[in-house]
Amino acid sequence: MTNSNSLALGALGDPTRRAIFEHLGERPLAVVDLAALVPVSRPAVSQHLKVLREAGLVRDVRVGSRHVYSLDPDGIAGLRDYLDRFWNTALHSFKARVEQQREETP
């Protein structure tokens, strides 16, 4: 596992960060908007966003005096590639087992 995948999975291990991540999956939001959606203060939301940004899962753009956060497609793509390896392995194993059972059944 790469360090970026490890950081991403660790960041999403926290329920509040996961909720923030999910809200950002719906639309870009500023800290104040996110704070209204999760049960933590604005400074706490900012800290959670810092962890998500360092993990490569979110990015921000400055709009006037605000930072608007959104999901980072590149970071998510890397995490998805990592998880897809497990999914593909599971599917191949399932297929092999079904084929083996067919061969064993008279």
Banded model confidence at residue 1, pLDDT cuts 50, 70, 90: low
Contacts of 40 (CB under 8 A, 6+ apart): 16, 48
Mean pLDDT over the full length of the chain: 92
Amino acid at 41: S
The token duo for 93 is 């194993």
How wide is the angle at C-alpha 45 spanned by C-alphas 40 and 46, nearest 5°?
Answer: 150
Cβ neighbour number for residue 21 with a 10 Å cutoff: 22
For 57-101, write each residue's pLDDT tens digit.
999 999 999 999 999 999 999 999 888 888 888 888 888 888 888
- What residue ranges define each of the domains in the chain, with the CATH number in brackets? 3-104 (1.10.10.10)
